[in-house]
Amino acid sequence: MRRASLRYWPRCGRMRCGGNPLPSMTLHNPSAASSAPPAAQWGLDALWNCCLAIADARRAGAPPRLPSNTLVLTRTDGWELDGPWEMEASGMFRLLKPLLDCRPEARSWVIGQLGQSLDGCIATRNGDARFVNGPENLVHLHRLRALADAVLVGAGTVAIDDPQLTTRRVPGPNPVRVLFDPQLQLAGCASSAHAFTDGQAPTVWLCDARWQQRAAALAGAAEVLAVPGLVRADGTPAVALALAALQTRGLRVLFVEGGGVTVSRFLAQGALDRLHLAVAPLIIGNGKPGLRFAGAERLGDCLRPPFSVVPMGRDQLWDLDLAPLREAP
């Protein structure tokens, strides 16, 4: 796999840790332990290796084996930095820490994301969305994919963008690809879309049970997850039922990557623990909106989640903590 830059903020020169490469780190191998160099600071490469090891161990139900003097798991605060770290690595850790800390034994853990313009659009009115945000945010998306069990996108995103949903920009495993298609709108794409045909990662076609036979005939029974009652009486999907069904497949840490309709539904139904909004210095005008749902009538009743803002190239990433608002299963 081609190695891409792991920096959030561009800087000339190749990846370094305390002025030296890290030849002792074995990429994406949680069983390999090593010792920290005594007089060097750990950098982004080292931190990303630790993140992958933690995610691998979570999936395997085992404690991760990390290099000494890197990260430590505390009883009260989850994972914490231990030892000398470069500033950029510390910044990335703070952004990824909620995902590393999640312990979804009781229920799934869900992070959503949208990339948008200053005026809240994710694409032009004709659907052109390549690329609203800069390359740093694309790397961040691929990191989230690698740390999640599954990446979920709506039917509209598949039909318009035909995404691969892989981790080609960063080292790490491809997640299971979940196509959230309650009413089987992707029937015409089953023979052509990347997620159905490229074989790069497992794909789950998530639909209401009434379309199970048709979906199985198009994509094969193994790729179909049909959920009774997924489409409610008003025509909207029951997100909680979708999450419960994915959990039966062992998909507990979920990354909802888009599009605007799908992320909005997860948010409106109280199904997100975290939301990353990447805002680009761009004004689109009459474009396709990002978040859109029936909110509160009074401003005082609107959502005001805790947040932090992280610079990401020319963009600003808003990290919103929605865990206190997450509805019980």
pLDDT at 328: 57
Looking at per-residue pLDDT, the higher value among 297 and 104 belongs to: 297
269 plus 315 within the same structural domain: yes
Q: How far apart are CA 179 and CA 199, in angstroms?
A: 15
117 plus 157 within the same structural domain: yes
93 plus 123 within the same structural domain: no
Average pLDDT of every residue of the chain: 88
Query: What confidence category does residue 242 fall into, taking pLDDT thresholds of 50, 70 and 90?
Result: very high
Question: Mean pLDDT lowest for which of 11-20, 251-260, 272-281, 312-321?
Answer: 11-20
Residue 323, SS3 per DSSP = helix
79 plus 121 within the same structural domain: no
141 plus 272 within the same structural domain: yes
When pLDDT is averaged across residues 135-163 and rounded to a whole number, the result is: 96
Instruction: Answer whether residue 32 shows pLDDT above 50.
Output: no
Q: How far apart are CA 274 and CA 267, in angstroms?
A: 9
pLDDT at 35: 53
Which of 101, 120, 142 finishes a domain? 101
290 plus 213 within the same structural domain: yes
When pLDDT is averaged across residues 255-276 and rounded to a whole number, the result is: 96
97 plus 202 within the same structural domain: no
Q: Widest CA span of the chain, in angstroms?
A: 63
Which residues form the domain of 301?
A: 109-325
114 plus 30 within the same structural domain: no
pLDDT at 128: 86
Instruction: Answer whether residue 321 shows pLDDT above 80.
Output: yes
164 plus 74 within the same structural domain: no
Q: How far apart are CA 181 and CA 201, in angstroms?
A: 18
Half-sphere exposure of 158 (CA within 13 A, CB side): 29
Given a contact cutoff of 8 angstroms between Cβ atoms, the answer to whether 53 and 32 are in contact is no
Looking at per-residue pLDDT, the higher value among 37 and 244 belongs to: 244
304: closest CA among 316, 322, 292?
322
Q: Percent of the chain, pLDDT > 90?
A: 81
194: closest CA among 150, 237, 141, 153?
153
Which of 101, 126, 160 finishes a domain? 101
Overall number of domains in the chain: 2
Segment (H or E) for 72: strand 71-74
The string of pLDDT tens digits covering residues 44-84 is: 999 999 999 999 999 999 999 999 999 999 999 999 999 89
**Which are the contacts of 267, defined by CB distance < 8 A and separation ≥ 6?**
112, 275, 291, 293, 322
132 plus 242 within the same structural domain: yes
Instruction: Answer whether residue 167 shows pLDDT above 60.
Output: yes
5 plus 136 within the same structural domain: no
